[in-house]
Amino acid sequence: MISVEQALEKILACVDVLEEEERPILDCLGQVLAEDVYSSIDVPPLDNTAMDGYAVRSRDTRNASKESPRFLSVIGMVAAGSISECEVKPGTAVRIMTGAPIPKGADSVVRFEDTDEAQRQSSSDGIGILCEAEVGLNIRRAGEDITKGSIVLSKGVVIRPSEVGVLASLGLSKVMVIRRPVVAILATGDELVDINQPLPLGKIYNSNTYSVAALVLRYGGIPRILGIALDSEDSLVARLRQGLDADMLITTGGVSAGDYDVVKDILAKEGEIAFWTVRMKPGKPLAFGTIRGVSKTGIVKNVPHLGLPGNPVSSMVTFELFVRPAILKMMGKRNLAKPTIEAVIEDSVVNSDGRRILARAVVRERDGKYFARLTGPQGSGILTSMSLANGLVIIPEDKEGVEAGDVVQVMMLDWSKE
Ligand code: AMP
Ligand code: MG
């Protein structure tokens, strides 16, 4: 039995960063930028006002105050999106709305609140300025956000909503990113029925395909659902073949020591098995290897295949530990580790067989400290324990257990219940 670290190392050694592709910016959320992005424009393109108010010459406001306003005549109005044709000459002002370009001649903007506009019926005759405006007051300079010709986003950056916004501010509708991996998902088991079917006696619904597909989506991959294979070599091979042009193949079930557990036999026949069983709980019967496949363009390649255990909790936990980092690596990400925190455990856990335990827990913060409480029964068939949990408490393989009050490491699955 190999350790979690050894297993992860072997898996990551078999996956590579995928190719680049051009995508519409809104499709790129969570993807890694594959090019340096330069700006061909200044953002903002022109000096403009940060406030609604009056564009003035600062010299005209000298010594202005509430007690002794400076009166200017209003020669025009300009809203965002238009250019004022007026030139602000001594003794004049232009009424201006947020985002509008600064008219010629003006060097500052006095906001409405610092004028006597509210006391006037109309500003058509003139406006009283109630404060001194220094040069540049309330003006956003052309290029103050992004200067033309500068590098705005560097290759390797992960695209978040703010990067989507920055790209849009440059007028870019598409960008080069590392493509998302296609992950083929095959459930195995004679007992499985798909969710849109009635449930005959003795059968269970196939939940793994859906929890695994949801995880693939969450971490940026494209799930390809291959359905359910029976526990026979023929059925399994026939279904598996449909997934061989994917970047990764995931099966669930069929990897324990039972008579009908054919996945690892297939892995040995149709490819190469790298390991089977990992020193962890849940998730011990995890198989990994490569299957000989043919890409869409006819190239023969070895498709990494993770045979996740069938138990619903085990398949999700092993996904978080092994499939997630593999997906992130293929997407070109550098930080593959799930965030881990220290918490005080509120239950005791016994570790009787020297495996790494990953116990489902609810982590809460109290007085600046984290506390972890187990979700209840920890059977690997109790999928609701995953639904209740926001973290996995890690009990190392060389520890015989922990007592309530001990400090433990917790791998966070979510930071909050949103
Ligand atoms: P296996 O690894 O095939 O021996 O399966 C272990 C346990 O997980 C058995 O109780 C299976 O019925 C259950 N199981 C396997 N595959 C699925 C699935 N796709 N959805 C829900 N439960 C499953
Ligand atoms: Mg099975």
Ligand 1 touching residue 282 (CB < 6 A): no
Nearest-CA residue for ligand 1 atom 23 is 310
Among candidate residues 272, 252, 398, the one with its CA nearest the CA of residue 317: 252
Q: How many Cα atoms sit within 13 Å of 88 on the Cβ side?
A: 26
Closest-lying ligand 1 atom to the alpha carbon of residue 207 = 20
Whose tokens are 């499709």? That residue is: 27
| DSSP secondary structure, 314-381, as one string | HHHHHIIIIIHHHHHHHTT-S--PPPEEEEEESS-EE--SS-EEEEEEEEEEETTEEEEEE-S---TT
Cα 253 from Cα 244, distance rounded (Å):
19
Ligand 1 touching residue 189 (CB < 6 A): yes
Cβ neighbours for 68, distance < 8 A, ≥ 6 positions apart = none
| DSSP secondary structure, 126-187, as one string | -EEE-S---TTTTEEPTTSSB-TT-EEE-TTPBP-HHHHHHHHHTT--EEEEEPPPEEEEEE
Taking the CA of 191 as reference, the closest ligand is 1
pLDDT tens for the 418 residues of the chain, in order: 999 999 999 999 999 999 999 999 999 999 999 999 999 999 999 999 999 999 999 999 999 999 999 999 999 999 999 999 999 999 999 999 999 999 999 999 999 999 999 998 876 779 999 999 999 999 999 999 999 999 999 999 999 999 999 999 999 999 999 999 999 999 999 999 999 999 999 999 999 999 999 999 999 999 999 999 999 999 999 999 899 999 999 999 998 887 667 888 888 888 999 999 999 999 999 999 999 887 767 888 899 999 999 999 999 999 999 999 999 999 999 999 999 999 999 999 999 999 999 999 999 999 999 999 999 999 999 999 999 999 999 999 999 999 999 999 999 999 865 4
Taking the CA of 208 as reference, the closest ligand is 1
Ligand 1 touching residue 252 (CB < 6 A): yes
Taking the CA of 308 as reference, the closest ligand is 1
CA of 104 to the centre of ligand 1 (A): 74
**What is the pTM (predicted TM-score) of this model?**
0.94
CA of 39 to the centre of ligand 1 (A): 53
CA of 213 to the centre of ligand 2 (A): 19
Cα 382 from Cα 139, distance rounded (Å):
60
The dihedral region occupied by 390, where left means phi > 0, alpha psi between -120 and 50, and beta the remainder, is alpha
Query: Token digits for 21?
Result: 């592709």
Ligand 1 touching residue 258 (CB < 6 A): yes
